[in-house]
């Protein structure tokens, strides 16, 4: 087995066998599809939150801009975990369906867009959990359940932000 040197200093050597084995996986193809789509959605969320953060900073909303920076880092953590899961299952990650960032003309519009996207993620992860449960895939069910819980927390947090931003009557 011939080692392939990595171009990164201090990194490990990868064998050719390791690289070729990435294309073989016995995991349910639907679960792999859920993981691929999850990666695309999480990377879309990172892009959305970073874009919103910059937009809000430009408009003088520094405090909420920082909150969106934090949210982007959390979503990047989700993407990192999904990549790790895919590699563990023997497939190469590929986020192929990155959506463009959506903007709004006002802070309430921006918040509504973000809240709707986070709600979509909750529905997506719920379907992934249901699929895994129906197919007795306990490990992937637990993986998706954790992401589902974290996205539910995001939806709740964005709903609270929206309430705080509403003018009092």
Q: Are 97 and 40 in contact (CB under 8 A)?
A: yes
3-class SS of residue 4? strand
Lowest-pLDDT choice from 66-80, 92-106, 139-153: 92-106
pLDDT of 65 reads: 93
Per the document, the length of the chain is 169
When pLDDT is averaged across residues 5-24 and rounded to a whole number, the result is 44
- Evaluate the CA torsion angle 31, 81, 130, 68 in order and state its sign: negative
pLDDT at residue 91 tops 80: yes
pLDDT of 167 reads: 66
**Local confidence band at 159 (pLDDT 50, 70, 90 cut-offs):** confident
Delimit the domains of the chain by residue range. 24-165
Instruction: Pinpoint the alpha helices (H) of 89-137.
Output: 107-134
**Local confidence band at 72 (pLDDT 50, 70, 90 cut-offs):** very high
The CATH fold assigned to 24-165 is Ferritin (1.20.1260)
The single residue listed with the structure tokens 């959305």 is 48
């Amino acid at each position: 087995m011939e080692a392939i040197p990595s171009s990164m200093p201090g990194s490990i050597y990868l064998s050719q066998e390791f690289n070729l084995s990435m294309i073989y996986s016995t995991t349910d193809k639907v679960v792999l599809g859920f993981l691929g789509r999850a990666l695309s959605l999480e990377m879309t969320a990172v892009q959305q939150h970073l874009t919103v953060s910059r937009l809000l900073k430009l408009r003088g909303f520094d405090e909420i801009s920082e909150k969106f920076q934090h949210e982007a880092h959390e979503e990047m953590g989700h993407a990192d975990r999904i990549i790790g899961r895919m590699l563990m299952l023997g497939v190469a990650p590929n986020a192929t369906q990155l959506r463009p960032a959506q903007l709004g003309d006002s802070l309430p519009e921006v918040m509504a867009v973000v809240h709707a996207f986070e709600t979509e993620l909750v529905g997506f992860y719920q379907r992934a959990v249901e699929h895994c449960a129906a197919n007795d895939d306990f490990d992937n069910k637990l993986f998706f359940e954790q992401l589902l819980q974290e996205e539910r927390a995001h939806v709740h947090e964005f709903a609270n932000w929206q309430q705080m931003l509403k003018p009092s009557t």
